[in-house]
Amino acid sequence: MINKTQIESVLKINGVSPSEPDERIRSILLSARYSDDEVDTAIMILRENVKTNKTRVDGLHKIFRTEEALRPEEISQLLGIDVEISDRVAPQAKGRDMSDFQYATVWLLSVLLGVGGIILYMYLHKIGIFYSPVHLSL
């Protein structure tokens, strides 16, 4: 977990104050081999209020690393505004259900396609019902 004192010490070693513009801090942290996600998190930690630090970082971890839904308080902390969510939307099933009519239609079309393919093959190769027993003899 990234700590504000760690970030400030890295910046101090490189001669940069925490109040510098974000692009300058970003270049210093990238040169210190921080990943892009860590740099974004570090800048967010530097720019936020000390009281909300834990909540916001935990919220970011929940967004990017888990499948859990965020609570309205966490959304408010991440956005920096008050969000009121009164109605919850039930998640829909990921699969689709087919009706009996759709199953019957798919079955019928597959049988017709199969029979049509067999009849076409028999016609092209002159076999089965398309076989002509008359042979030419020389």
Amino acid at 58: D
How many degrees, rounded to 5, is the angle at CA 132 between CA 130 and CA 134?
Answer: 175
By C-alpha distance, which of 54, 60, 89 is closest to 75? 60
Give pLDDT tens digits for 4-56: 888 888 888 888 888 888 888 889 888 888 888 888 888 888 877 555 555 55
Q: How many CA atoms lie within 13 A of 105 on its CB side?
A: 5
What was the pLDDT predicted at 51?
A: 56
Residue 119 and residue 38: Cα distance in Å, rounded?
A: 65
Domain spans in the chain, listed from the N-terminal domain onward: 4-79, 100-130
What was the pLDDT predicted at 83?
A: 62
Res. 123 pLDDT band, cuts 50 70 90 = very high
Question: In sequence order, what are the residues at sequence separation of 6 or more whose Cβ sits closer than 8 angstroms to the Cβ of residue 31?
Answer: 14
Question: In sequence order, what are the residues at sequence separation of 6 or more whose Cβ sits closer than 8 angstroms to the Cβ of residue 7?
Answer: 18, 29, 42, 45, 46
Question: In sequence order, what are the residues at sequence separation of 6 or more whose Cβ sits closer than 8 angstroms to the Cβ of residue 20?
Answer: 11
* Residue 105 vs residues 95, 99, 100, 114, 116: alpha-carbon distances, Å: 20, 10, 9, 14, 16
Contact 75, 83 (CB under 8 A): yes
Name the token pair of 35: 């990943």
Query: Among residues of the chain, what percentage have pLDDT more than 90?
Result: 19
